[in-house]
Structure 1
């Protein structure tokens, strides 16, 4: 699984940001399924389905674990699998979490998934959050101390200026309550950066984000500590699909699983690619420590 080399002294910085700039705890919001209406197209019409396989090929079907979910991420931590996703609950109890990041867990060896619940973020500065935006597009990685780092997209104050969407992160000991790690992890001036996929491979953290203007091309950045990423040469595959998906490290190879393509690399820079094999739209794919392959995908619900 993915590992890190540490989290240098972020706690004191969070306190400073809270005092100087003001900070925010992100929990339930105000948008609801009723307000966007079932008649409008959107990610709230998709559900999270989990598939198991002995190989990286996945068949049809799967287990429905969350109604109203999109942009999934899977990570193994301790004796559990954690699933994170953008959540769009329809029931009256959960609607306060509409379009926030949700989570569910299951033991590694079984499909006994918990009911979904919302993820709480603590210490996000008001200067970038305000009351009109929220963390989006989660991707989770496990750390050596047993914690989980969650990377996500933030677009400050829902700005429409290109370049405002950046990748941020937060850390958690329990997988549900996350403390914001100050500053952005990756940004490109004048360009929106969203939907990261991240893996620890060959002694470094590799981050990939889709270039939304050039299909088959992705932004690539490297980091030694998982916090400071430096942009590298863009990565490319022959397929026309976006770099929108999930990474997995197996042996000496780094894998990327996308909506219409999947690929592998020996160095994280040069990629061999082919058609996707049963993972469905915007998948999250990992290989567990017991050898089982797990995929989370979000097909559109049959109306």
Structure 2
């Protein structure tokens, strides 16, 4: 057997997790069977949605099991293969992260297309986060040229992609972020205005930034940002509900003070998961690949080093410790 290390869920948290909920342990990888491959991971993704999988509740993905290895997005190279579909040296992306090596059926690994981009892009703008931004904005919210778009967590991985996609499609964009440094970066990405939610009430700031109101809200936060979007929504506004990180650890805070506007303004809200749109991934790759090649969409990563850094990188997502995509490099 081949040895490796993987982070395991030691216990289920109540509220914000801490390091006691994670345990790094050796794991044995059995010899490959026919049709299987072994991958050495190079990049690991940590994402806010993983917090929900630490709870023993039914959701769109199964919960993590106590005592079992955690899972997440990863990019790596094939180091052994017994499948004609993968050869040693192929770069692949997959969902067996939080570990140094992964093995399984070749169908579990997606060979990286030859697009001339750096490997970590397949966990960012060309991966889950970029696809979430693309489909949430353009399919769920049906955003179009001329729309006024409000994006929360605009300095995060998904939010920063939404800002740039919206600008590439001719929209006016208002992004919310915490602190002047992050707001300055949101403006660098092309946003027409940036709201510092730490500097004052979001409702007041949004109404000042968008005196004509908003057509689209891309929600990564929930709470007072969602309230602000209700307050500022124009008739027939569309809300794409991607995430509500404000309530992931302490439960949803009081909100919906302005939800009655959903009637008068005919607001449409829809939650979504990017995998709902897997049949359209080729179109996503064409559009996003073109924007990246032309420089219209740029990436920024917060990178932590080594397998040992994964839990802390994950926990830092909940205190705003990242600009752009949070990654762990092995």
* TM-score for the superposition, normalised by structure 2: 0.29
Structure with the bigger percentage of helix: 2
Structure with the bigger percentage of strand: 1
* TM-score for the superposition, normalised by structure 1: 0.31
Structure having the higher Rg:
2
